[in-house]
Chains A and B, each alone.
Chain A
Amino acid sequence: MNSSIKIPTSPVVLPAPSELLHAPPPLNLPRWRWRMLQRQIRRYGEGVIAGIVLTILVMAIIFAQHLTPHSPTAASMRERFKPPFWLEGGSTAYPLGTDNLGRDLLTRTLYGGQVSLGVAFVASTAATLIGASLGLICGYLGGVFDRLLLRLTEFWVSFPFLVLALAVIAVVGSSPLVLIILMSLSGWVYPAQVTRAQTLKMRELEYVHASIALGASSQHVIRLHIFPAIISVNIVVWTLSFGALVLVESSLSFIGLGVSPPTPSWGNMLNDSRTYLQDAWWMSVVPGLALMMTILCVNTVGDALQKFSSRHLYA
């Protein structure tokens, strides 16, 4: 950049900082690349694998209508309690067996995922949006708002959420909408705390101070300096809260106070299976495995994202 300007006293021309940043790596040896790759794999490998598994799972769940010939709710009494295909009496028409009403378990698990993941998706998105906005506003304004937010989060955290949820459901009944509202109400605290902390940190950085000193408006500072930092943090928070809310939804459905049958959800399928534990073990194993795989993959991806963002992004 500055190469046209000759500095006679110094024989060495230093590259400008911007050139250093974008300069090609000093070495391009295969071994060097290999080491780098190895390190990346060790750091993020499990996250990538979990992400791929999760993508396949979610795709199967979204396109369940086109993947299976069976209906998730139509019962056929002649096909009751069929075991998975590798056991005696099982058939490949029902690869993972059938339940107490003769419904294909794989179909029900996929359709159940639509409900479980759908509710958790909407709720965690809403919770993150609410929490992040509150955290941003209160963190940036400071003062009374900030103290108010702190008090509110303290209050909220000390409250056993499941008990509140049960009380509300006891009275107004349960539907996916009620679940979404309750879960958003429980989930906004964590994004709010994280966003607030990040906003406070960014606001005190020197270049942000400089920007304000140069006359930048609040809108400009938030949009240009604070917003990008908050986005990366909240993606991690969103992922982790999604996993947690999948678990909450299935817990509520499991004790019979979430999504109610015949609509399948992983929780109420597991609840149904309790009665037939003696006769049909696959009824409790198949939806449970789906649930566990989903939560495990989401958590692993979340951990990897956290590692990545703390290394490469604002943290």
Chain B
Amino acid sequence: MVLLLSKKLFLGALQVAVIILSILTLLFFLQRLTGDPAAVLVGHNATPELLETVREQMGLNQPLHIQYATFLGKALQLDFGESNRFQKPALELVMARFPNSLLLSVSALTLAVLIGVPSGIYAALHFRRADGVVVNLFAGVLQSLPSFWLGLVLLLIFSVQLKWVGSVSNLEDNLLRRMALPTITLASFYVARLIRLVRSGLIDELHEAHILTAHSKGLKPRRVLFVHALRNALIPVVAFVTLDLSFMVGGSIIVETLFSYSGMGDQMVKAIFNRDYALVQASMFVIVVFVLVVNMLSNRLYQMIDPRIRA
């Protein structure tokens, strides 16, 4: 048993290591493909001597495999170099933004669960009635709504027309005013997905034989719903909430850019426009490691909730 567990852990760690290694390799070669990083740094009207000194400093005169090894060695020490725009270590800049991004993702996910799960239960219980159908249709429309467009329309209504919030989320505002629109925008898609997941899962579950048994035992309908049906129906929902985090990361990049929310995604997109590769690399590294860690944790959680898939 212990052997089995350690083998599994080992395989998981190996997988993470392979993924991180391939990302680093990709980052390295993509950067080298585009030409001379030193030339980007010194600008196009620099003297050849200056260019040569910068190349010397950055170690660009060495053969490619030595450069690659140095890059990997530095990356494993979490050293991605300095951001050439802010003159600070890139990883430090990214980690300064990390709590903001985490706050946005977590609050959006919380909001989505708080709205999505009860609405899904409602839609499932009334799935033949008009109101249940309306909830389901609403979820369908919400799912097709591009999040950035929803964000634009929300800005149009609440910022331009009603002037309740500013059009960019600046840090001086209080937390609610700053977070409200980005959170709602990011949560919208997940609300829709959750409604549909909970609804279809619960409808299937309510038609199972053990629900009929529970009813015929004379249990209260509420107990049957929450203890017998919902617990099974929520298993895929838990998987969705945790496993789909990679989509959440992508979505939050878009939403952060739209609202100029000071998170990792916004910083990364700006760094791309500024050709600040150290910052881009550090951002990517942090995001990918974060997603991988959450994926591993959620696999654990999933196995804990549903003993059937522990095999």
Interface residues of A (CB under 8 A from B): 154-155, 157-164, 166-172, 243, 247, 250-251, 254-257, 270, 273-274, 277-278, 281, 284-285, 288, 291-292, 295-296, 299-300
Contacts and interface: CB of A to CB of B under 8 A. Distances in A.
Contact of A160 (B30, B143, B280, B287): B287
B280 to A, nearest CB: 5
B67 interface: no
B146 A162 contact: no
A277 B156 contact: yes
A167 B254 contact: no
Given A160-B287, A167-B280, A270 B19 contact: no
B58 interface: no
21 contacts: A159-B19, A160-B250, A163-B253, A166-B272, A167-B27, A167-B284, A168-B30, A170-B277, A171-B31, A171-B277, A172-B30, A250-B146, A254-B257, A254-B258, A257-B269, A270-B149, A274-B152, A278-B160, A285-B153, A299-B140, A300-B140
Interface string B25-67: 0110011011000000000000000000000000000000000
Contact of B146 (A154, A160, A168, A247): A247
Nearest to A297: B144
Interface in B98-150: 140-141, 143-146, 148-149
Interface of B: 15, 18-19, 26-27, 30-31, 33-34, 140-141, 143-146, 148-149, 152-153, 155-156, 159-160, 167, 246-247, 249-250, 253-254, 257-258, 268-269, 271-273, 275, 277, 280, 284, 287-288, 291-292, 295
A303 B19 CA distance: 34
B291 A281 contact: no
A160, A250, A257, A299: residue with the most chain B Cβ atoms closer than 10 Å? A160
A93 B148 CA distance: 30
A161 B247 CA distance: 8
Given A169-B272, A172-B34, A291-B146, A277 B295 contact: no
4 cross-chain pairs, A with B, having the tightest CB-CB distances, nearest first:
A162-B250, A296-B144, A288-B149, A160-B246
A274 B156 CA distance: 9
Contact of B253 (A154, A159, A162, A270): A162
Contact of A155 (B19, B269, B273): B19
Contacts of B272: 166, 169-170, 257
A273 B145 CA distance: 17
Given A257-B269, A288-B146, A295-B146, A167 B26 contact: yes
A158 B19 contact: yes
B246 A159 contact: yes
B33 A254 contact: no
Nearest to B283: A163
A296 B141 contact: yes
A270 B30 contact: no
Contact of B149 (A154, A163, A167, A292): A292
Contact of B288 (A163, A255, A270): A163
Nearest to A299: B144
B127 to A, nearest CB: 13
Nearest to A248: B250
B27, B31, B149: residue with the most chain A Cβ atoms closer than 10 Å? B149
